[in-house]
Each structure stands twice: as structure tokens, then as C-alpha cells.
Structure 1
Amino acid sequence: MKNKLGITAAAALVAISLAACSNENNQSSSKSSDKPATSQVEKKQNSSTENSSNTQSSENKTSSENKSTSNSSENKSSSEDKKPSSQAPERDRMEKMTAKLRKALPGMLLPTRDGLGTGSDNLNVRYTKNGNTNTVYYSVGNSPAEFNAASVKNEKPFAVLTETKNSEDPDGIINYMPAQKGLPTTKLDADTTATTQGAAGQSYLQWNKGDWSYVIQASTQLKENPTDRGKSVLKLVNEYGVPSTSSHGSVHVTMGDSLGSLNTVIAWQKGNSTYQLKAHDTTTAFKMLNSLK
């Protein structure tokens, strides 16, 4: 009986020991299983955060690129809107040349308009200084040249403006013609009567107004009509006026214009300077005179 109880007690101890070992193994297995699960959650969370960050970065980059493209398009549109009008080249070219002339020839009266109907984009200007005389040449080339470029000498000027300071013979430059008497007359308008005369194959139409004399010279051999030309010149005088003069002024137009003829000659005196403008076209001459500054 005693031995039986001993065996039973030993068996019980073995059972308790085995149960304890089993419980420890289960707890260890549970801990080992919990740890990888937590790491996987953290990895998924990190991956989700990285994906979110990458998505946001991509969105920001796309937004930045779109904004840059939009700004570039807007700037291009704005730039195109600011393109100069068709009249801008004339103003810009003449202003540029005149600004350079003012530095080279300070104090000289200069036109601010070229008076041209076409060719303003290729306006070229050069000047010379000879003692007390300054001369400016205006021409139209095949292309715009640098100010006072040597190549411009080869171009026929459509206008030439000369200033002579302290001239010993200003009257010789101006060539003012006093009013004529005892000659046939013709009406140019309600307020203007001109005289006519002829000599050596030429006919002359003349009238005077204020301190100015006006002469139209025509060829009788070519049957040119100075009266019709005189009426057109008078309209230009009434429209654009003439410069103020310290003594006298004169307008002399020779009919039969040809390229580079410079057949319109206008002269006057301003203080100690005597000016003379020669032009190929009479209308161009008066437009230039009207813009003198």
C-alpha cells in the first residue's frame, strides 16, 4: 500500500512538471508570434507613408510644371500683345537717329518726322561737319545701317538739312525774292495772287506772304504748268506752315522731280544760324519742317 501511494505521488509530480513545460512553450510561442505581427504593421504603415509622400511630391511637381507652363504661356501672350504697331518702326527709327544727331550736333534744329510715305524702316542718316557748317543726309537704303555709317554715302538722299552758323552771307543762302510788280497775275486761292514770267525756256510763278517768298519754276519746253503746282504748294503751306525766321525765308520748287533731284529748296534764318532744307518731294519737306525741334 505504501509503495502504491509513492508511485502515485511520483506520477502526479511528473504530470505537473510536464504541464508547466507545456504552458511555458505556449507562452514563448505566443510572444514570438506577436512580435512579427507588430513589425509587419509598422512596415505597412511606413510603406503607406512613403507612398503618400511620393504621391504628394508627384502632385507638387506636376502642379509646379503646369504653373510654369501656364506662366510661360501667359508671358508669351503678354509679349505678343506688346508687339509694336505697324507705325512703331517709323517712330523708333527716326527717334533713334535724331537722338544720336542731337549728341553729335548740339543746338541744331532737327526734324522729328522723316516725312516719308514708305521706307521708314530702312531710314539711314549720316552727317558732316565742316567749319561752321553742319549737314545731315537722310536716305532710304536696302536695309537699316548704323548711324553715320560710311556705306550710307552711296545712297541718294531724299532730304539734306544744312545749318550754317554766323554766315557771312545769309541772304545768299536764303535767296529771298521780293514781290514783283507789273507782271501778269494769276489767282491761287481767294487770298493769294501770284505773278508769272518767262525766260530762257523757263516759266516762273511767284507770290509773297509775310517774310517769305515762294517760287515755282517750270520748263516751257516740257509744257509744265507752274500754276497747278503753285496751288498744291500753297495748300501745303497752309496745312503745315513754315518755320519762324529772323529775317526772310524762301521756298523754291523746280518741277520735273526725279530720284535724288532735291528740287524743293527751303531756307530761313534762326538767330545766328541759317538753315536750308533740300528735298526730293515737296510734301516730305513740309512734313519735316513742321516737326523741327
Structure 2
Amino acid sequence: MKLYKLGGVLLLSLILVGCGNTNSSKQSSNNESKTDMQNSSSTTSSSDSQQSATSTSGADNAQSDSQSYDFTSLTKYLAQKLPDTLLPQSSGLGETSRNVHIRYNGNANNSSIYYSLGNNALALNDAGIKGEIPYAVLAKRTYASSSEAQSHLDYTAASEIKGLPKVDLGHSIVGHMQSGAGQQYISWNEGNWSISVHGSPVNNTTPKKLAVSSVNMFENYALPAPNTQGVVKFNVGSSYQVITWQNGSVVYRLRANDPAVAIRMAASMK
């Protein structure tokens, strides 16, 4: 009977020890499981953070690109497309809330560049620009020789207008007036430039006021120095204002809807 009790005690002890080991194993397994979940959660969180950072960086880059479509940036892009081409570094405009758009066609030898205005900042040659009316157009044409290029300028020598009536334009500049058939021209020469302003007294668009204001602007804005000749033709009450000059075998022709805009753009070219 004592042996039976002793055997029962031993058996009970073994059962209790086995249960204890099982609980300990379960607890250890649970702890390892919790650790794995925490590690997984930490890895997932780190991955999510990296993905979020990447997305944010991409958005910043996109925003930076959209903000780079200002006049200066567009001009730099254009210079890469048209190497060895003189370009205006100024839009020629005063303060404006609108964005300058630029599109072009051609190549480094012969090109046409169109400047227009829009509400949104757009990339160079954006499809949305084509229908806009440009406020200025710059054309570059390359000829076989300097003499051929010169033949494409409508230059008036000082000797051709010397005998016409004089007009004081200020800053020691004297213009010469030619009238006929209801039209009136004031012409003068400065350096290698021949300049004329056209108006019509019949239409109350006499040229003297624009001629005087042009002389004043030339005192503050130096036009490019042509290798041989340059021509300025302004028209009162018109959107057709043209500055043309020769640079070796190349002729640049800038047309704008406003004389002051044309002068500022031409003077900034480099």
C-alpha cells in the first residue's frame, strides 16, 4: 500500500513537471511570436515611411518643374535647342500677372520664336501655346555670305535724308521729316542704325511723339551693335514694330506689337 501511494506520488509529479514544461514552451512560443510581429510591424512601418518619403520627393520634383517655366528658365531651355542664337534675356514687358509662353520652330541656323501670354506657366513648345497670338516674334535667318545678308536690310543712309526738313528729337538728335499722300515719316541715324517712325496726320497719328520717346529710350537701352547695318521701323497706332540687324551672315528680325517692348527685348539680347 505504501508502494502504491509512492508510485502515485511519483506519477503525479511527472505529470505536473510535463505540464510545466508545456506551459513554458507555449509562453516562449508566444513571446517569440510577439517579437516577430513587432519586428514585422517595425519593418512595415519603415517601408511605409520610405515609400511616403519617395512619394513626397516626387511631388516636390513635379512642383519644382512646374515652377521652372518662368521666362528666364524657358530662355535657358531655348538656348540649348538653338545654340549660337542671340536671345532676349528680358520679356520686354512691365509688371504683369500673366505668364510668358515661348514656342519655336526651325534650327540653329534658321528659326522663328513666338512670345505670348497666358494664365498658366507652360513648358517650351507646349501644345496649348500654338493658338495664342504672340506679342513678339523673333526670326533668325542665315545666308551664304555677309553681303547677301546685308541685302535683306532696308537701310537708309544719312546722306539720303540730309536735305529734308529737320526735327529736333532731343539728346542732340536731329530727325528729318518726309511727308506726302497723307503719310509722314521722321527718320534719323544713330551709329550703324537707320531709324524711321511712320504716322499719318490724316488719322491723327503724327510720328513726332513716338520719335521723341524712342530717342529717350535709346539713351537708356543700347540696341545690339550690328556688324554693318541695323534698321528700326516703328509705326504709330499699329501693332507692327520691327527691329532688324545684321550679324555677319545672319539677320535677326524682331517684330513686336509695341515699340517699347521691341526696344527692351532687342537691347537684352545675348
TM over 0.5: yes
Let me know the Cα RMSD of the aligned residues: 3.7
Q: Percent identity?
A: 24
Answer with 200-209 or 279-288: which moved more.
279-288
Q: Which residue of 2 aligns with 1:278?
A: 255
Residue type at the aligned position of 1:270: N
Distance 1:24 1:138 in 2: 113
Offset of 1:159 from its aligned partner?
Answer: 0.7
Q: Which residue of 1 aligns with 2:189?
A: 208
The within-5 A match list for 1:1-293 is 22-72=1-51, 74=53, 83-84=63-64, 88-91=68-71, 92-102=73-83, 107-111=84-88, 115=92, 118-121=98-101, 123-127=102-106, 134-138=110-114, 140=116, 152=130, 157=134, 158-165=136-143, 166=145, 168-179=147-158, 180-182=161-163, 183-188=165-170, 190-258=171-239, 263-293=240-270
Offset of 1:222 from its aligned partner?
Answer: 1.6
- After TM superposition, the runs of 4+ consecutive aligned structure 1 residues lying more than 6 A away are 141-146
Deviation readout 1:82-140 (Å, 9 max, x if unpaired): 533986313444443443333xxxx444445554664524x3222389xxx82414254
Offset of 1:264 from its aligned partner?
Answer: 1.8
Please state whether the residue corresponding to 1:175 is helix, strand or coil.
Answer: coil
Residues 290, 33 of structure 1: alpha-carbon distance in 2 compared, 3 angstrom cutoff: farther
Is the radius of gyration larger for structure 1 or structure 2? Answer: 1
Query: Contact 2:177–2:185 (CA<8 Å) still a contact in 1?
Result: yes
Distance 1:198 1:74 in 2: 72
Residue type at the aligned position of 2:21: E
Q: Which residue of 2 aligns with 1:8?
A: none
Residues 84, 56 of structure 1: alpha-carbon distance in 2 compared, 3 angstrom cutoff: same
Query: Contact 1:207–1:215 (CA<8 Å) still a contact in 2?
Result: yes
Offset of 1:29 from its aligned partner?
Answer: 1.6
Query: Contact 1:268–1:276 (CA<8 Å) still a contact in 2?
Result: yes
Query: Contact 1:245–1:268 (CA<8 Å) still a contact in 2?
Result: yes
Distance 1:233 1:156 in 2: 25
Residues 193, 145 of structure 1: alpha-carbon distance in 2 compared, 3 angstrom cutoff: same
Residues 85, 253 of structure 1: alpha-carbon distance in 2 compared, 3 angstrom cutoff: farther
Distance 2:51 2:217 in 1: 51
Residue type at the aligned position of 1:254: N
Please state whether the residue corresponding to 1:292 is helix, strand or coil.
Answer: coil
Q: How many residues align?
A: 257
Distance 1:247 1:134 in 2: 20
Unpaired stretches in structure 1, ≥5 consecutive residues = 1-21
Unpaired stretches in structure 2, ≥5 consecutive residues = none
Offset of 1:223 from its aligned partner?
Answer: 0.8
Distance 2:4 2:225 in 1: 122
Query: Contact 2:184–2:207 (CA<8 Å) still a contact in 1?
Result: yes
Residue type at the aligned position of 2:166: P
